[in-house]
Amino acid sequence: MHTSNLKHQKTVHLALIGLGGTGSALLSHLGSLYAGLQATGGPKLQVTTFDPDTVSPANLARQRFYPADLGKNKAFVLTERVNLCLGTGWQAVPEKFSQSHPHNFNIIVSCVDTRAARGDIAKFLNDRQETPYWLDCGNTAKTGQVILGRQGTAMALPSELHPELIDASLEEDALPSCSALEAISRQDLMINPMVAVQAADLLWKLLHEGEIRHSARYFDLESGQMVSRAVP
Domain extent listing, the chain: 2-230
pLDDT band at 181 (very low <50, low <70, confident <90, very high): very low
Q: Provide the 8-state DSSP code for 99.
A: T
What is the rounded CA–CA span in Å between residue 199 and residue 30?
Answer: 10
Q: Say yes or no to pLDDT of 69 above 90.
A: yes
Contacts of residues 173-182 at CB distance under 8 Å and 24 or more positions apart, as own/partner, are 176/56, 176/58, 177/58, 178/58, 179/57, 179/58, 180/57, 180/58, 180/59, 180/60, 180/61, 180/62, 181/61, 182/58
pLDDT of residue 179: 46
How does pLDDT run across 121-173, given as a tens digit for each residue?
998 888 776 789 999 999 999 999 999 999 989 999 999 999 999 887 776 65
pLDDT of residue 171: 60
pLDDT of residue 99: 75
Q: Mean pLDDT, to the nearest integer, of 227-231?
A: 96
> Which residues make Cβ contacts (< 8 Å) with residue 173, sequence separation at least 6?
none
Based on C-alpha coordinates, what's the Rg of the chain? 17
Write the class of the CATH domain 2-230. alpha beta
pTM: 0.92
pLDDT of residue 232: 86
Assess contact for 219 and 145: CB atoms under 8 A.
Answer: yes
Residue with more model confidence, 171 or 69: 69
pLDDT band at 98 (very low <50, low <70, confident <90, very high): confident
- Average of per-residue pLDDT values in the chain: 91
Assess contact for 46 and 14: CB atoms under 8 A.
Answer: yes
How does pLDDT run across 1-23, given as a tens digit for each residue?
999 999 999 999 999 999 999 99
pLDDT of residue 176: 54
What is the rounded CA–CA span in Å between residue 80 and residue 94?
Answer: 13
How does pLDDT run across 211-227, given as a tens digit for each residue?
999 999 999 999 999 99
